Amino acid sequence: MSHPHPELGPPPELPEGALRIVALGGLGEIGRNMAVFEYDGRLLIVDCGVLFPEPDQPGVDLILPDFEYIRDRLDDVEALVLTHAHEDHIGAVPYLLRERRDIPIVGSKLTLALIEAKLTEHRIQPVKVEVVEGERRVFGPFETEFLAVNHSIPDALAVAIRTPAGIVLHTGDFRMDQLPSDGRLTDLGGFARLGAEGVDLLMSDSTNAEVPGFVTSEREIAPVIDEVIRTAEKRVIVASFASHIHRVQQVIDSAEKHGRKVALVGRSMVRNMGVARDLGYLRVASDVIVDSKEIEGWPPEDVVLICTGSQGEPMAALSRMANRDHPIRVAEGDTVLLASSLVPGNETAVNKVINGLSRWGARVVHKGNAKVHVSGHAAAGELLYVLNLTRPSNFMPVHGEWRHLRAHAKLAALTGVPDDHIVIAEDGVVVDLLDGRARIVGAVPAGYVYVDGTSVGDVTDFALKDRRILGEEGFISIVVVVDTGTGKLTGGPEIHARGSGIDPDRLTEVIPQIERAIEENAADGVVDIQQVRRVVRRTVGRWVSDTYRRRPMIIPVVVEV
């Protein structure tokens, strides 16, 4: 089983006749999916998504793939293929198109419509290439074939990429729901046909590789949602992903059945459902939807609200409702339905929202106490099915954390893929497909690029470390005035502490130590201001550590006279 090594160096020149695959995101993590394919000097990109920040990344709005690997080669990009319209697959597209606006964007009708609506906010008009399942398109040396896959958003596609190096099948995110709400099945016949033709490399969704069996059908969720809405005494507030059209359809159908009006809350929810409705993917009577600004005037028992915030995102509508920071006020007797799965890492944030809603008297229904969501990702039984259908010569698990990639690799081995033909890579690892073998040949930089407000890439890991220290330990500032000729103290020290948990009255204890340290420094003939700063920082840091066992950020300010 081939796997990355921490000492991998830069890859060699791409051999003639080889296909190179470099994942810039999506391996070892849930999100930021982006894979770059190279053949004969030309590039094809599949997906370009974002990763959402964790609690230890304060102030960060989004995390992008690092485009540095392709930045000098953007003119070589033939196209960007989008498998579906979830944020972890399309969220970084505006940032890529800022660097080259005319990259053709390839995708299904709904995917292109949703990305165009997003790009409008960035004032970018994309070059669109609409495709449907069963269609073949050629982009430079890449012949692509698109296959229908079932997922938690309509119009999702897998893509087969043909080059002289062989056939690569990239499944995108998929599941094998046999009774999907939209009737659109995963094209297992197409997968089998490709298997008969010969799949040289299968890149398959690993998110649920640890989950045994098959994922529950989407249709089994509708009766549970209907029961929640039927029995609710007052308002029902449903939180869902803004792209989960199937789930929103189920909620609207139930609300209409029980005589309730529906209001969409949140900019992305209103935008996406507007696009889905215009294209016919969302079916709703004209008199069912009402403006969220008018909803407060309706009797609570006649109302259903659909909003964002199912993952506990701080600025989403549901979190703001829980914090009493939203025009819509959660009240005693309201029912809140979290109609989505829990993204790993969001447990604390979601539990905080649930507790906040419960505080105001709401009944909160979620996956932990009712069957109100099914995953959009294939479980182990389905993944085995696809491996047996396609019979790949080489296998590379994608879309998942390390445990998911390893679990999927074990499934591939069980189906007969030789261990030395299974490639477990991570972001930035370079894989070449040559002479029927996939091998790791090197690595390129593929770090995180942070979006903080309007800033892209300016926030570094060091800056985040500083933010964490400030948030957890506070800071202490010390102002001293020093004679630049002698290095002697002529004013101060003045000490101020914020958020450090240190008693201000006790700060006077360290002043003699600072004075003594500067005097000793001057006696040694040291007049360098940077050295004075280091002495002050070290002296205060030692005192705080010995006295309080804390490590706040220490900011010495030396005024020269």
Q: Which long-range contacts (CB under 8 A, 24 or more apart) does 254-259 make?
A: 254/222, 254/225, 254/226, 254/229, 254/230, 255/229, 255/288, 255/304, 256/284, 256/285, 256/288, 257/226, 258/226, 258/229, 258/230, 259/302
Q: What is the DSSP track for 117-129? A: HHHHHTT---EEE
End-to-end C-alpha distance for the chain, whole angstroms: 66
User: What number of H helices and E strands is found in the chain?
Assistant: 15, 25
DSSP 220: G
Q: Contact 202/196 with Cβ under 8 angstroms?
A: no
Exposed / middle / buried, residue 297 (Cβ in 10 Å: 0-12, 13-18, 19+):
exposed
Q: Contact 42/421 with Cβ under 8 angstroms?
A: no
Tokens coding 382: 């389905």
Q: How far apart, in whole angstroms, are the C-alpha atoms of residue 244 and residue 272?
A: 9
Q: Contact 161/59 with Cβ under 8 angstroms?
A: no
Question: Is 195 part of any known ligand binding site?
Answer: no
Question: Is 376 part of any known ligand binding site?
Answer: yes
Q: Contact 175/375 with Cβ under 8 angstroms?
A: yes
Question: Is 377 part of any known ligand binding site?
Answer: yes
* Angle of the 511-523 helix axis to the 529-548 helix axis, nearest 10: 150
Q: Contact 72/86 with Cβ under 8 angstroms?
A: no
What phi and psi values does residue 377 have, to the nearest 5 degrees? -115, 140
Q: What's CA 178's distance to the chain center, in Å?
A: 28
Question: Is 487 part of any known ligand binding site?
Answer: no
Sheet holding 201-205, edge to edge: 136-139, 142-148, 157-163, 166-170, 201-205, 395-398
Query: Which residue ranges are tagged as binding site for substrate?
Result: 373-377
Q: Which residues are annotated as a binding site?
A: 373-377
